[in-house]
Amino acid sequence: MKSKTQALSREAALIAALHERFGPAPPEVILGIGDDCAAISLDGSDYFLWTMDTLVEWVHFDLSYTPLEKLGWKALAVNLSDIAAMGGEPRYALLSLGWPPRRDRSGALTLADGLARAAREYGVAVIGGDTVASPGGLAVTLTLTGVVDAAQMLRRAGAQAGDLVYVTGTLGEAAAGLEILKRGVEMDQELKEALIEAHLAPRPQLQAGRVLAREGLATALIDLSDGVATDLSHLCRASGVGARIRGAAVPISTGLAAAAPLLGRDPLQLALTGGEDYQLLFTCPPALAASLPRAFSRAGLAPPRALGEIVAGAGVMLVTEEGEVDISGRGYDHFRLDQKEEEI
């Protein structure tokens, strides 16, 4: 079970209460509630990683604009991103499918085609699960396991004041793609399709996670599912630090810059609070920063982008020409009644 908020919002408060009721984990559990994956020590040399995500109709997707095959892909991709955030390698998946009984069950096979395509591309074996009737909408739950060298595993905790904050790619395209799907905004077809694809078929950054873990280049790591404003807040809270990021340094693609005015949205806000980018956000000591481009280049990856730095204290401050503003936790929260992003 993963904690997904900074200050104790509705969702984090519920998770904290559940954690209290479940009690302490046994000694072989290296990481329990509160990170991207649970980690269990099996033989001393490797840790077994375990994660789970659920996608619920009308909460995470709408089938009026989400093809079932893309939904199958995304169900695995979001779990793969959790494995990436630990520096691990994925292994086996279990699928739990809640299917409305009045719907054509051939749709379940279409969903499975997308899941199988992602599994083949990322070397995952789907080995079982459960199917049930859902009296409401469709619900898709994936449980994924992985493995990581015990000496290499990364986690949310570990960032220290003075560390630099990096992200592995541009931000905000997925949020823009969702806006296009929901509102039917017209724009250049190639641009439109690219942004929609960013939302429907995210690409988990497994290779980047492995580079950071193998080379020992990160002090803390998290994947960007709920937006920088919220996920960097998670990392800071786990590490007992704060962060300052520069608005001018936030990587915004030319596509997002072109689409945002047509959507009537601020591209910086989409990039910081939109969520579902599934890039990796990590911290690195300044002494190792020069090694990052070389390590990523050797792996055939674009270099990560520096956003700012870790500071003493708490919270995430955004620095722009207008001054500083606290953006801690302003991304997605499942139990916030109004899910519109807060202004930054």
**182 shares its domain with 42:** no
pLDDT at 42: 81
Q: Are residues 179 and 301 in the same domain?
A: yes
Phi, psi of 323, deg, nearest 5:
130, -155
How confident is the model at residue 333, as a pLDDT? 59
Question: Is residue 207 in a domain?
Answer: yes
**20 located within any domain:** no
**Helix (H, G, I), strand (E, B), or coil: what is residue 99?**
strand
Does residue 200 sit in helix, strand or coil? helix
Predicted pLDDT at 128: 97
Span between the terminal Cα atoms of the chain, in Å:
29
Helix %, strand %, coil % of the chain (to 5): 35, 25, 40
Structure tokens, 295? 């390590």
Q: What is the pLDDT along the chain (344 residues), one digit of tens a residue?
A: 444 333 456 666 777 787 788 888 888 999 888 778 999 998 779 999 999 999 999 999 999 999 999 999 999 999 999 999 999 999 999 999 999 999 999 999 999 999 999 999 999 999 999 999 999 999 999 999 999 999 999 999 999 999 999 999 999 999 999 999 999 999 999 999 999 999 999 999 999 999 999 999 999 999 999 999 999 999 999 999 999 999 999 999 999 999 999 999 999 999 999 999 999 999 999 999 999 999 999 999 999 999 999 999 999 999 999 999 999 988 755 545 455 555 56
Residue 159 within any structural domain of the chain:
no
pLDDT at 20: 81
Whether 254 and 114 map to the same domain: the answer is no
CA distance 267 to 252: 7
CB 213 within 8 A of CB 89: no
pLDDT given at position 2: 45
Phi, psi of 72, deg, nearest 5: -60, -40
Backbone φ and ψ of 99, nearest 5°: -110, 125
CATH number at residue 260: 3.90.650.10
Number of domains the chain is built from: 2
Q: Are the beta carbons of 85 and 36 closer than 8 angstroms?
A: yes
Which residues, at least 6 apart from 33, have a Cβ–Cβ distance to it below 8 Å? Answer: 1, 2, 3, 15, 18, 19, 22
Asked if 101 and 195 sit in the same domain, the reply is: no
Question: Of 122, 149, 176, which one is at a domain's C-terminal end?
Answer: 149
181 & 314 share domain: yes
Whether 3 is covered by a domain: the verdict is: no
22 within a domain of the structure (yes/no): no
Look at residue 140 and tell me if it is in a domain: yes
Residues 213 and 98 in one domain: no
What pTM was estimated for this model as a whole? 0.92
- Return d(Cα 189, Cα 164) in angstroms, integer: 37
Give residue 171's domain range. Answer: 164-326
Q: Domain containing 109 — which CATH number?
A: 3.30.1330.10
Q: Do 204 and 279 meet the contact criterion of CB atoms below 8 Å apart?
A: no
Looking at the structure, tell me whether residues 58 and 168 fall in a common domain.
no
Please give the Cα distance from 76 to 94 (Å, whole number): 10
> Is 26 inside a domain boundary?
no
Residue 125 sits in the same domain as residue 223: no
Q: 160: exposed, middle or buried (C-beta count within 10 Å: 0-12, 13-18, 19+)?
A: middle
Report the pLDDT value the prediction gives residue 344, as an integer from 0 to 100: 67
Is residue 333 domain-resident?
Answer: no
Q: Are 304 and 241 contained in the same domain?
A: yes
Which of helix, strand or coil describes residue 39?
strand
- Whether 182 and 311 share a structural domain: yes
List of residues 6+ apart from 91 with CB closer than 8 A: 124, 125, 144, 145, 146, 147
Q: Convert 260-277 to b/e letters by CB count within 10 Å (16 or more is b).
A: bebbebbbbbbbbbbbbb
Shared-domain flag, residues 182 and 145? no
Q: Give the chain's largest Cα–Cα span.
A: 60
**How many whole angstroms separate alpha carbon 270 and alpha carbon 331?**
10
Same domain, 121 and 185: no
CB-based contact 212:87 (threshold 8 Å): yes
pLDDT of res. 7: 46
C-alpha distances (whole Å) from 214 to each of 88, 169, 224, 289, 303 are 10, 20, 21, 15, 16
